[in-house]
Amino acid sequence: MGPVGARHCEGRAVVDITVVEVSPRDGLQNESVVLPTDAKVSLVQRLVDAGTSRIEAVSFAHPKLVPAMADAEEVMAGVPRVDGVSYAGLILNRRGLERALGTGIDEVNVVVGVSDTFSRRNQNVSSDEAMDAAGDVVAAARAEGLFTTLTLATSFGCPFEGEISPDRVLAYAERGAALGPDELCLADTIGVGTPNQVRTFTTRMRTEIGTTPVLRYHFHNTRGTGIANAYAALLDGVTVLDASAGGIGGCPFAPNATGNIATDDLVYLLDRMGLESGIDLERLMPTSAFLAVQLGHEVPALLPRAGNFPPA
């Protein structure tokens, strides 16, 4: 089992690093401006046109809790269906999965907060209860033939509890791996992680859990360490990283959780390192300007301000 991007890759480059584009979901969910459905579909189209193969397009959270994602079904009805492109939806519980089924979703990303306080703020359940619910969702999604990712939120720190013990993260990672997801993602929800933490987590994940499920990382650049953390993951052979066009994003349930790493900046790094992502940087960069107009403010990505190098 694999995402559509792995199953049907006609006309798309074989990649060294898979960039999971999260701007339509994590990018937009924390913005004060709620984009209309057609603008969200236009964003997805731009990402597809730039060569993105995996896109977290929507969230099936309760519309009252995350109003920016209330039109998930309508967005999925409008996204382009292209060979080699896999669409993911964020799922918090079985009800979210029930909404997702029938929308043409290819992947589900199930979230468990390893901090009890964050978990209760985010999902109104403890971390243990969230893990139990995740097991039900992962099993049901796999039965439907969907690719599954389990994301452990606040793995690097919690806005309410502060430091999170790496042992606690690894304990939840072990429990999560036992549920049988295709990927296990460690998320720096509030952007406090540093490269040494990333390398320690990568080593421990492989020695204590193994290489199944595939390890994926979700970094925020809140405190300027996001790209450094991505580089640290690359050094140890991690091949799946989340990023957001323009660097937009954040978590509405975590104070000051701003700034996913920008896809623009990450792809520039990959290109200069000779690593293929399948994403055409020149075609991607105008997306930042599009988002700035739609959202009414400048986006955090650095590359669109300076331009590519060497100049085209």
Catalytic residue annotation: 251
Q: How far apart are CA 211 and CA 134, in angstroms?
A: 20
Q: Which two tokens stand for residue 28?
A: 């937009």
Q: Which two tokens stand for residue 143?
A: 């039965």
> Which of 180, 175, 120 shows the shortest CA–CA distance to 152?
175
Please report the sign of the dihedral spanned by the C-alpha atoms of residue 286, residue 15, residue 184, residue 137. Answer: positive
8 Å CB contact between 186 and 177: no
DSSP 3-state of 231:
helix
Q: How far apart are CA 175 and CA 129, in angstroms?
A: 12
Q: Which two tokens stand for residue 268?
A: 């520039």
8 Å CB contact between 145 and 1: yes
The residues, any chain, with a CB within 8 Å of residue 98's CB and separated by 6 or more, are: none
8 Å CB contact between 43 and 75: no
C-alpha to C-alpha distances, 294 to 79, 82, 248, 281, 303, nearest whole angstrom: 18, 25, 12, 21, 19
